[in-house]
Structure 1
Amino acid sequence: MPQIINSRCVLAVRDLAAATQFYMDVLGFQRDCGDGVDGWSFLSRNGFRLMLGECRDATPAGELGDHSWFVHLIVDDVDRLHDEVASRGAEILSQPQTRPWGLREFVLRTPDGHRIVFGEPVTANGNKE
């Protein structure tokens, strides 16, 4: 059976240059290829890959209510990542907290209004796995 060997999430953004700058400077992504002149930015951070597509007339994610949730990412040090992106100006919606479902999580909002959850697995007593 053929296997899916990789993926790249796609987000519509209203201002490609500003969104690309945010993902690189605040969230620590790197540009994989291209310069955005074709309306696309191909970015990644570690194994997570992202395409930003400029859609100036699209409804901003911040106006989509519950549909502005973008992705839930599992990381290896959620508190350190929180401190990193917060120090770079990310809009933090919820501080890191241990949840009953076995993850320590925080949520941020991008300038376009997409909400991203970062989580780290923890044991029943709240310790990191």
Structure 2
Amino acid sequence: MSGDHRQDGGDAHVEALSAITLATHDMPRAVRFYEALGFRMLYGGANEAFTSFALGASYLNLTSETHGPIQFWGRVIIYVSDVDAFYRKAVAHGIEPQFTPRDAPWNERYFHLTDPDGHELSFARPL
């Protein structure tokens, strides 16, 4: 392939499903529910806007939606080999991510995009 191959993120690839994020109107209730099922909390809590539970080698995240009916169903988080290269790959194919890659306080580098049917996908890599 040409020398430009790396610039478009062509070497970046999907590695694993990292997490699924679900929206909730009532974080305390949702946290109690998942704790009752034995899920181990890793981040956040009943009084936080974002909570993450261990789910085997993956994660179940909860995000608080506080206004009106839940408009946001959730998000699938996919681990990739190189977040920035994967971002460049998406852009090179005419896909418009919601923002450029950034580092999160939960120790991941990530960016989001929306598929043609409105499903939010997050591409991430642990820092």
Shorter chain as denominator, the TM-score bin is 0.3 to 0.5
TM-score normalized with structure 1 length = 0.43
TM-score normalized with structure 2 length = 0.44
